[in-house]
Homo-oligomer: A and B are copies of this chain.
Amino acid sequence: MIPQIPNERVPEVEVDAIFTDRWSPRAFSDEPLSEEQIATLFEAARWAPSCFNDQPWHFRYAVSSDDRARFSEALVEKNQQWAQHAPMLVFVLARKHFSKSEKPNRHAVFDAGAAWMSLALQARRLGLYAHGMAGFSVNKAAEVLNVSLDEYEIMAAVAVGRRDDPSKLSDDQRANEKPNGRKPSAEVAGEGSF
């Protein structure tokens, strides 16, 4: 049995639980995802809004042992330790130019962030967790993905899977294996000008 982890997040006002139920565990079971689960995650991302509906996001995913090992190499070691066990690793990319005009797309990274959020929320709907990582080498990821950094920004790595027993984690990782908190709303939203 995988131990329950209490969710101690306290929303300031009532909000749909889909947002507070999403968090980023590190203890992943290596149980594979089904093809349908994988398709559903990217389906959710696909319906995100974007500037001129350009859909500048792109997802490359690894599920085979070989691909997961290759993708893992781009992660910093602290992330490799736990993320290598997840049944799927994903890199989230943003196309730097509009697909039609080839002009620079100022909103590409922002829109890719929206698509990533949808994927993370849909993961919870499937009983899965998606843990986004900034801790990776962009250059190494570009090499692994065989992609030009002139064409794409590589914005995040993501581990997706089911939770597992935190006992498999290192001491410091185990201590953080729970939903984290947030700044007060007053610090991130305000009426009128600054």
Q: What is the count of identical protomers in the complex?
A: 2
Let me know if A193 is at the binding interface, CB within 8 A. yes
How many of chain A's residues have a CB under 8 angstroms from any CB in B? 74
One of A35-43, A77-85, A159-167 at the interface = A35-43
A interface: dominant SS: mixed
Chain B residue with Cβ nearest A21: B47
Contact digits for A57-84, partner B, Cβ 8 Å, 1 yes 0 no: 1111111100100100000000000000
- A interface list, Cβ under 8 A from B: 9, 11-16, 18-20, 22-24, 36, 39-40, 42-49, 51-53, 55, 57-64, 67, 70, 94, 106-107, 109-118, 120-122, 125, 132, 134, 144-147, 155-156, 180, 182-183, 185, 188-194
